[in-house]
Chains A and B, each alone.
Chain A
Amino acid sequence: MAPSFIRNQPDFVLGVLYILAGGGFAAAASRYDMGTLAYMGPGYFPFLLGILLAGIGAWIVLRAMLIRGARVRLAPWNLRSLFWMVGSVIMFGLALQPLGLVIALVLLVVLASLASHEFTWKTTLVNALVMVVLNVGGFVYGLSIPFPVLPQIAAFQL
């Protein structure tokens, strides 16, 4: 349970994220050349923005603790759908180079569909087939995007 002095939990978390991101960017930017106001180096503008973001974050954190008002709780997190969606995208990326577009697409559609409570193999495979035909036809042949289509097995490329 979150401590009770945090009145607005979502805002508090967001503020902390802003502080971390702003601080991180400002720290990284400070290692680049700052230059002068007239001749700004690559670090100048991002350093300003990083400080600004961290400042806004600090203000939001304070506001979330100090300002009276109805308590706002964090919405329940159900990471299951997110995990499957992002997981299937990453899997698509991992599979694309070695296994080719066809297999990667089937993997993506099957993995993503598994997250639905109404999963059936039949619809999913038909869906995957349609996606393979559409994408190979449209992107590889239609727009000539350099997708690897079939598995690239080193042994076959001698």
Chain B
Amino acid sequence: MDLFDNLALGFATALTWQNVGYALLGCLIGTFIGLLPGLGPISTVAMLLPITYSLPPAGALILLASIYYGAQYGGSTTAILLKLPGESSSAVTMIDGHAMARQGRAGVALATAAIGSFIAGSFGVLLLATVAEPLTEIAFLFGPAEYFSLMVLGLVGSIALSSDTIDKSLGLMVLGLLFSLVGTDVNSGEYRFTGHISDLYDGIELTALAMGVFGVAEIAFNLEQYNRERNRNATLAKVTQLIPGKKDIRRMMPAIARGTAIGSLLGALPGAGVTMASFAGYALEKKVSRYKDELGQGAIEGVAGPESANNAAAQTNFISLLTLGIPGSAIMALLLGAMIIQDIQPGPQVISNHPAVFWGLIASMWIGNLMLVVLNLPMVGIWVKMLRVPYRILFPVILVFCSVGAFTVRASVFDIYLLGAFGILGYVLIKLEVSPVPLLMGMVLGPMLENSFRRALMVSRGDLSIIYSRPLSLGLLIAAGLLIVISAYPSMVRKRKAALAEESA
């Protein structure tokens, strides 16, 4: 089968009215949460995960994926009009975007963000479609040792680029791995770490952990801040002229191209994610743009570059998840959870075993990007009204969806208590200034990591050298080691601290 046939199959799947509906719904939800500061895609995807259990596999993945890339569009609107980062990935767009808005060019800035995101998104999807199949063929050379090393690389990658020092994230990741082992051991049937609580025999529910750590904990923290600085009145910029002029288009195109390139690259790396991509996109403009002196004062490049970069990254983020079954970021980890629940065994065999799901998801991502342009440009006035929903109404709603969602998964009241407990843990982590993302990564990858470790050593009859004597496995481990070394450099630590607060929120 060649790419054309595959895409035809994909569009046939994605264009059924249910799947178009899921994509539209996801784009709407994504834009909405992207707009709202203080509610991020991680907690939203976690909240909606339980609902997707009752959907067919393609529909579930289409819905969750479109929330994720939709949030990248919405975040820029808040950044430009309100000078608040709706998402952490649009924090840099704020600088020039809001400066443009103050000059009465809010409409042009919004249009630039949308056009840039669409071009970058389309390119990202195309890239995903072309590299996916060749990559899976490499993956068929993998034995358990290679899988173990690949997972180590994925885990290390997801923490190497976070803003925390590596030892703290590493510890949190190990804690996540341990949490994932709670419950029945598949090999021996023994109950581990359950404390004779029968509700734990099936393990800790992933959604309860994710919603507790990202939802409940963040609400408690946000509320603390919100109550302290009451009545901060942000002024909303007016949207006028939406259509950019000829000169604007001439200036934005090169920046879009650069942003797309760097975003696609960073998105494909494990752990880099969308926030990193938008910061890199901005940094690149600062270095190479012809108008770099205007950056910071409302240069169109300062919107086009980072916005294209984060949306390209949002699409290429899917590459390692869909081809190797290794999630590169917290959202991808949740999507992996969704795949497992839909009985899609993640890994290179996804494309051949579930072609309709795989190509349907890819096609729907392009359709979704198209929808988002339409949703965001002509309808921007409606979205702006949404920004006026006060937090005091919003946060009980989030809490309701977390609590109801926790019960929904296994119809278990115990999971509601788990949600509360993980809320406390998440709050402690926020106060101790560690990002909870590695915890989630460990929780998702733990069972597979243990399984591949056990299988590799069973194959080699207890000879540990199987992990480092095979060239492919060794190469992956070396890559993981390099990431740790690079991230431990003090200059890197400082740069990252300055650059990104955190993936979540």
Residues of A within 8 A of B (CB): 10-11, 13-14, 17-18, 21-22, 25, 28-29, 32-33, 36-43, 45-46, 49-50, 52-53, 56-57, 59-60, 63, 74-75, 77-78, 80-82, 84-86, 88-90, 92-93, 96-97, 101, 105, 108-109, 112-113, 115-119, 123-124, 127-128, 131, 135, 139, 143, 145-147
Interchain CB contact (< 8 A) of A75 among B188, B396, B407, B433: B433
Complex contact B464–A37 (CB within 8 A): yes
Closest residue on chain A to residue B184 by CB atoms: A42
Q: Which of B398-444 contact A (CB under 8 A)?
A: 399-400, 402-404, 407-408, 411, 413, 416-417, 419-420, 423-424, 427-428, 431-434
For A59, list chain B residues within 8 Å (CB).
167
Complex contact B392–A119 (CB within 8 A): yes
Residues of B within 8 A of A (CB): 51, 54, 167-168, 170-171, 174-175, 177-178, 181, 185, 187-188, 190, 192-193, 216-217, 219-221, 223-224, 226-227, 230, 390-393, 395-397, 399-400, 402-404, 407-408, 411, 413, 416-417, 419-420, 423-424, 427-428, 431-434, 450, 453-454, 457-458, 460-462, 464
Q: Complex: how many Å from CA A21 to CA B407?
A: 27
Given A78-B224, A108-B403, A131-B397; A57-B219 close (CB under 8 Å): no
Q: A82-B424, A85-B223, A89-B399 are in contact. List 17 more A-B contacts (CB 8 A).
A: A14-B432, A46-B181, A49-B181, A53-B178, A56-B174, A75-B431, A75-B433, A86-B423, A89-B419, A90-B420, A108-B400, A112-B399, A116-B227, A116-B392, A116-B395, A135-B400, A139-B408
Complex contact B454–A40 (CB within 8 A): yes
| CB pairs A–B below 8 angstroms (14 shown) | A10-B431, A25-B178, A38-B457, A42-B192, A49-B178, A53-B175, A81-B223, A82-B427, A85-B423, A89-B403, A92-B403, A113-B396, A116-B395, A128-B396
**Nearest-CB distance from B435 to chain A (Å)?**
12
Closest residue on chain A to residue B462 by CB atoms: A38
Q: Considering the complex of A and B, which 10 residue pairs feature the smallest CB-CB distances, nearest first?
A: A38-B462, A93-B416, A37-B462, A42-B185, A56-B171, A82-B220, A81-B223, A89-B420, A112-B396, A116-B392
**Nearest-CB distance from A82 to chain B (Å)?**
4
Complex contact A108–B396 (CB within 8 A): yes
Given A38-B458, A118-B230; A86-B392 close (CB under 8 Å): no
**Nearest-CB distance from B489 to chain A (Å)?**
16
Tell me the interface secondary structure of chain A in the complex: helix
**Nearest-CB distance from B386 to chain A (Å)?**
16
Q: Complex: how many Å from CA A25 to CA B174?
A: 11
Complex contact B408–A127 (CB within 8 A): no
